[in-house]
Chains A and B, each alone.
Chain A
Amino acid sequence: MRAYILLLFILFAGCDNFFEPEPANDPQAIFDNLWQEFSALYGPFEERNVDWDALRSKYRPMVSSSTSEEELYTILTSMLAELDDGHVRLTTPGKEIYHSNRVFREKTDDELFNEALIKDNYLDEGYVDKSSYLYGTIQRDVIYLRLKAIDDQALILDKVLDQFSDSKGLIIDLRHGRGGDFTWAFDAFSRLTNEKRLVFSSKTRNGPDRNDFTHWYDWYLEPEGKFFDKPIFVLTDRYTLSASERAAMALKVLPKATLVGDTTSGGHSTVIGRELQNSWYYSISTQKTRFMDGKSYEGIGVIPEVPLRNSRANMAAGTDDVLQYAVINITR
């Protein structure tokens, strides 16, 4: 009995030594932690032509024990900017989230997409607007579905196709699509294909060595339900990211689908979060991906068949050129 209580006491008293030591909360240790975690988890170094060791040699000497928090922020964000990756972000107290990707950071051409303009000038009365989608008809003949994010709400497509079964075609708008879980899109698009089609393959980091990856995993679009055998136009822009890009890839493999707009962001991996010892948070892309043609478009983006950008002048006049192109080609 006494031995038992003594054992409990020893275990209780010794619990602090039970854990691995937490990394020191100083500028050098914070830099080392962030650099090391990218080394151990980041997937597309090669695809983005980034020499991570060279970046350490470039930035690590700038950090010392006397580096201020603001200076450390500048050094870390400068290093992350070299990845130019839409998935890589740094969250810090009181500041705007830092985007490694220049387009997201500088909000380049952000205003070339405007949902309000579509509602006001294109959609017929009775459109439905939810957190992850917007749908309705244009000129009564064209189905318009905007997927703002890819989640379970994407399954609305099945209902939309039934509701507007007399339509001439379908527009799926993925512009400014902020990603999500791409598997919902693959489920939702099952009525758009009449055969099983390879979309992309991916492999994920599974160890600290830069070559530690799982095997390649093939992702297919598989048919289910009543086939929608009409023209499909898919709209994309530089802000179409992640799962929204994978959705664009899935639609790109369909013979009846045409991608129109700007090339997507080029962040095709999945993403995970991490935290630093000073409570700054960051995110890392952990995968390599290749499209069904065997090529990687990481850092490049999904390239539309019809490259087209909205013009500020036409938008000011109430015209969305990209959407207009799709509508004309479906209704002509």
Chain B
Amino acid sequence: MECERGFQLKRHRRARCFKMVLIAVGFLVFTNHSRAQSVEEGIGLKLGAHSVSFQDMQLSPNIQKDFSIKTFAVNYKRRKSHRVSEVEFGSTWYSLNSDNSYTYVRDGISRETFISSSTLVNLRYSTAWNLRKSAFHAGLMIDNQIRANEQAYGWTTAFNYFAAFSMGPVLYYTKAVSERCDLSLKSWIPVFAWVTRSPYALNDDDYMRNNMNHKGVETFANYVADGSLKILNRFQKFNAEARFDYSLSRRFDVLISYELEMLRYTPGRNFISYQNFVNLGAEYKF
């Protein structure tokens, strides 16, 4: 009983920390957008393809792979003299085609094994300042990533999750390739992250308690509250994006972008992931 109460207090403290981080992020976004002067703003939509290879030793020793064309991202970008800021929300759905599907028999009836499937959600905010009127901008990236996975084990599946709310430096490079075409490169490496992940044995008592309210948002908040702060020695992530924008008119751009992401998380059993995104999109400036 005492043990349980101590656990609850710990969870409340963690939930409070998480709320403070959210408030800080909100404040950053607010202060960035409340001082409007002469600015260039735009909203964009990207649709495209995604490939993933990941190895979550909590789920399987095998490297699991998939290619999906169900990926999208919407973003808002704001450029004001020497400062550029972006908010992007993206999501991807994929089945793990590396799973070997086959027929087995249960109670005398032939059935097909299930295939694993995943949903990936990214919510990012970055703001960066121009470095001495050069082609480079440097600043801060807040990168939030949630992965929900339904891992198939033949006749059954198991839900598991991995979420990282990270912060670290971002570097932009922008160059006008021609009058209508811009190349921009961007990369970021988080230096610390609040990471929450399914427990070692997936559905332990804490996990079941977290689920017991059977309400999605509340359950997710419980997962987040069970996370912990990790720095570079335990959580390593690298993202790089290359993007070409072609200006069709003063207000309208089309674009093609490529992004790679490498992620390695080592507390407990390793979680390693390698992802590529190729997107086509458009941006409207106002």
- Asked if A11 is an interface residue, CB under 8 A from chain B, the answer is yes
Give residues of chain B (32-65) contacting chain A, Cβ–Cβ below 8 Å.
53, 55, 57, 60-63
- Asked if A183 is an interface residue, CB under 8 A from chain B, the answer is yes
The answer to whether B262 and A281 have CB atoms under 8 Å apart is no
Complex Cα distance, B1 from A275, in Å, reads: 36
Residues of chain B with a CB closer than 8 A to A215's CB: 3, 7
Chain A positions 143 through 187: 1 when the CB is less than 8 Å from some CB of chain B, otherwise 0: 000000000100000000000000000000000000001111011
Complex Cα distance, B100 from A76, in Å, reads: 20
**Known contacts A1-B173, A97-B155, A273-B153: does B199 contact A22 (CB below 8 Å)?**
no
- Asked if B74 is an interface residue, CB under 8 A from chain A, the answer is no
Give residues of chain B (255-270) contacting chain A, Cβ–Cβ below 8 Å.
260, 262, 264, 268, 270
- Asked if B95 is an interface residue, CB under 8 A from chain A, the answer is no
Complex Cα distance, B153 from A274, in Å, reads: 6
- Asked if A204 is an interface residue, CB under 8 A from chain B, the answer is yes
Complex Cα distance, B208 from A181, in Å, reads: 9
Select which of A96, A281, A282 is within 8 A of B113 by beta carbon.
Answer: A281
Tell me the smallest distance from the CB of A297 to a CB of chain B, in Å: 18
Select which of A1, A15, A286 is within 8 A of B262 by beta carbon.
Answer: A15
- Asked if A95 is an interface residue, CB under 8 A from chain B, the answer is yes
- Asked if A307 is an interface residue, CB under 8 A from chain B, the answer is no
Complex Cα distance, B273 from A20, in Å, reads: 11
The answer to whether A205 and B200 have CB atoms under 8 Å apart is yes
Residues of chain A with a CB closer than 8 A to B281's CB: none
Tell me the smallest distance from the CB of A151 to a CB of chain B, in Å: 10
The answer to whether B204 and A270 have CB atoms under 8 Å apart is yes
In terms of DSSP, what is the predominant structure of the interface of chain B? mixed
Tell me the smallest distance from the CB of B219 to a CB of chain A, in Å: 11
The answer to whether B63 and A22 have CB atoms under 8 Å apart is yes
Select which of A7, A11, A95, A219 is within 8 A of B105 by beta carbon.
Answer: A95
> Which residue of B is nearest A92, CB measured?
B104
Give residues of chain B (102-129) contacting chain A, Cβ–Cβ below 8 Å.
102-108, 113
Complex Cα distance, B104 from A95, in Å, reads: 5
The answer to whether A93 and B60 have CB atoms under 8 Å apart is no
The answer to whether A204 and B199 have CB atoms under 8 Å apart is yes
- Asked if B206 is an interface residue, CB under 8 A from chain A, the answer is yes
Residues of chain B with a CB closer than 8 A to A270's CB: 201, 203-204, 208
The answer to whether A214 and B158 have CB atoms under 8 Å apart is no
The answer to whether A22 and B62 have CB atoms under 8 Å apart is yes
Select which of B105, B173, B208 is within 8 A of A96 by beta carbon.
Answer: B105
The answer to whether B4 and A183 have CB atoms under 8 Å apart is no
Chain A positions 195 through 226: 1 when the CB is less than 8 Å from some CB of chain B, otherwise 0: 00000001111110000001111110000000
The answer to whether B158 and A91 have CB atoms under 8 Å apart is no
The answer to whether B201 and A206 have CB atoms under 8 Å apart is yes
Residues of chain A with a CB closer than 8 A to B157's CB: 273
Interface size class of A (residues with CB under 8 A): 35 or more
Give residues of chain A (86-111) contacting chain B, Cβ–Cβ below 8 Å.
89, 91-97
Complex Cα distance, B211 from A181, in Å, reads: 10
The answer to whether A286 and B63 have CB atoms under 8 Å apart is no
Counted as pairs of residues, one from A and one from B, with CB atoms less than 8 Å apart, the total is 147
> Which residue of B is nearest A90, CB measured?
B154
The answer to whether B53 and A19 have CB atoms under 8 Å apart is yes
**Known contacts A33-B61, A275-B153: does B201 contact A20 (CB below 8 Å)?**
no
The answer to whether B201 and A216 have CB atoms under 8 Å apart is no
The answer to whether B4 and A217 have CB atoms under 8 Å apart is yes
The answer to whether B154 and A281 have CB atoms under 8 Å apart is yes
Tell me the smallest distance from the CB of B252 to a CB of chain A, in Å: 27
The answer to whether B204 and A96 have CB atoms under 8 Å apart is no
Complex Cα distance, B254 from A277, in Å, reads: 44
Tell me the smallest distance from the CB of A272 to a CB of chain B, in Å: 5
The answer to whether B260 and A8 have CB atoms under 8 Å apart is yes
> Which residue of A is nearest B187, CB measured?
A4
- Asked if B202 is an interface residue, CB under 8 A from chain A, the answer is yes
> Which residue of A is nearest B242, CB measured?
A8
- Asked if B214 is an interface residue, CB under 8 A from chain A, the answer is yes
The answer to whether A91 and B240 have CB atoms under 8 Å apart is no
Residues of chain B with a CB closer than 8 A to A182's CB: 208
The answer to whether B240 and A18 have CB atoms under 8 Å apart is no
Give residues of chain A (268-326) contacting chain B, Cβ–Cβ below 8 Å.
270, 272-275, 277, 279-283, 286-287
Q: A33-B61, A203-B205, A206-B199 are in contact. List 7 more A-B contacts (CB 8 A).
A: A4-B173, A20-B61, A96-B105, A218-B4, A279-B100, A286-B203, A287-B205
14 A-B residue pairings within 8 Å (CB atoms): A4-B185, A4-B240, A11-B240, A15-B274, A18-B264, A89-B155, A91-B113, A95-B104, A183-B211, A187-B212, A205-B200, A219-B205, A275-B154, A287-B201
Which A residues fall within an 8 A CB radius of B?
1, 4, 7-8, 11-12, 15, 18-20, 22-23, 33, 41, 89, 91-97, 152, 181-184, 186-187, 202-207, 214-219, 270, 272-275, 277, 279-283, 286-287
